[in-house]
Structures are given as C-alpha cells and as structure tokens.
Amino acid sequence: MSEFETRSRLLTRRRVLLGAAALTTSACDSSRPREGFLGVMERFNQHAQAALFHPGRLAPEEGVEQLTPPGDFPTYFISDTVPVAPAGWRLEVGGSVSRPRAFTLEELQQLPRTDYRIRHHCVEGWSAVASWHGVRLSDLARAVGADPRAGFVEFRSFDSGYFSSWDAASALHPQTVLAYGMNGQPLAPGHGAPLRLYAGVKLGYKMVKYLTQVSFLPEATGGTWEDRGYEWFAGV
C-alpha cells in the first residue's frame, strides 16, 4: 500500500471518530474534505487552536535517556526513493521580504545555531526523540527583512513537490528551526538532507524535509497532506 493509501485510511478513521459529523458527510466529502460541514469544523478548529497557541510556550526538552536509538527513528518521504538534492542546491527565501536571496548550506550555518532535544509526534500514532540543530526561522526572517504583516510562511521541497504552509506565529516560534543536523551529526538523507524544517509546536507532517524554498506570504496556501484533509494548523 502506498503512503497516500495508508494515510487516506487513517484519515477516514479520524472522520469516523468525529461521529455524527462523519455520518452526514462521509459519502460525499472524501474528495473535497475542506468543504461542507467538516470544512466548517476544520476552520473552527483552526481558529480555536490558533487562539490557544502561546507563542512563548516551549515544548519540553527530553533527557538524553529518552533518545530514540539511531535507526529506530522512522523516515518518511513521498518519493519512491530517498530524495537527493539537486546539484548546486540552495535555499530560496522570498515572498514578502525586502532582501530575497538564495542561501548555500554554509551560509545558513554561519547564522546563529540553535540546539534542542524534543519529541516528534506523527499523526500515524508514533513518536520519537532526537536532538536537532539548525538556524531559527526567526533569525532567517530577520536576515531577509521579512514583512511582519506576512501572516503565513510556505515551505517547499524537492521531494516530489511535498509542501506545507504555516501561520507566522508558529513559524517564528523560538523552537522552529531549519535543521541541518540531528543527534550531533549532519542531517541524514532519510531525514531530509541537506535541510528540513523542525519544530516543537507542530505535528510531523508540517515539518517539510528536503527544503528548497521558504516564502513569506499574505495568505495561507495548503499543503501535501492538508489538501487531502489533514488539519492545517496541526499544533502539538
């Protein structure tokens, strides 16, 4: 079964858990999950979650003894084989910014480095712990002069177009980083090399790996899983 098929089943199960809502809409909403009653519920949920979100609250640091053994931390990518960075890879940063530019990995590594050890939560029901290091998105936003009125940030990848868009408050949270390292090592190909998004405030599918582009935007766009009905806000 492909990852899309497995996850579509999970999604159906989540809908069923919504009870009556699922009964009235399950037959007609599968291809348009953001419309109708469930769409309304999803938008309500987004507002409720955004209202509950505290920009200053940090995800708890885990102890070293909580680290998931190397090799046991699952790896996900939608491509059939591990995505490989194109030659001359750079991270394009643009949208509502006064100094759009493309960064090499070395340039990103010259910006201040942030390290933390926190738990990862995937909607498929697993969690795992690793330490991550990289540059805060808020530091990058400063470097390019991101417009504070841009309420959203979109992340794109070279993994068959996998992408996601975030609310700016979560994107600029102190534990949201563009990670180039995991457990003290350079990021491995399976985990999104050369650069991935990591955060303490979002579920796994929001953390785009194999990054190519970061855009500060006035409007939310969707996302690979979000467009298939997964929650857009997806706060932890």
Contacts with Mo ion by CB under 5 A lie at: 122, 204-205
The residue (of 162 and 232) whose beta carbon lies closer to ligand MTE is: 162
Q: CB–CB of 195/91 below 8 Å?
A: yes
Nearest in space to 162 (alpha carbons), one of 230, 68, 107, 102: 230
For residue 166, list its beta bridge partners.
153
Answer with the entry of ligand MTE, Mo ion, none that 191 interacts with (C-beta below 5 to 8 A by kind).
ligand MTE
Give the x-and-dash track for 116-145 against ligand MTE (CB under 6 A).
------x-----------------------
The residue (of 157 and 213) whose beta carbon lies closer to ligand MTE is: 157
Encode burial over 113-138: b for 16+ CB neighbours within 10 A, e otherwise.
ebebbbbbbebeeeebbbbbbbbbbb
Give the x-and-dash track for 196-215 against ligand MTE (CB under 6 A).
--------xx-xxxx-----
What is the total count of residues that contact ligand MTE (CB under 6 A)?
A: 18
The residue (of 74 and 218) whose beta carbon lies closer to ligand MTE is: 74
Q: Which stretch binds ligand MTE (CB under 6 A): 105-113, 142-150, 157-165, 169-177?
A: 157-165
Spatial separation of the C-alpha atoms in residues 6 and 213, rounded to whole Å: 28
Q: Does 180 bind ligand MTE (CB under 6 A)?
A: no
Tokens 């491995």, residue located: 188
Kindly state the DSSP code that residue 10 receives in the 8-state scheme.
H
Q: CB–CB of 131/183 below 8 Å?
A: yes
Which residues sit at the interface with ligand MTE, rule CB under 6 A? 73-78, 122, 157, 159, 162, 191-192, 204-205, 207-210
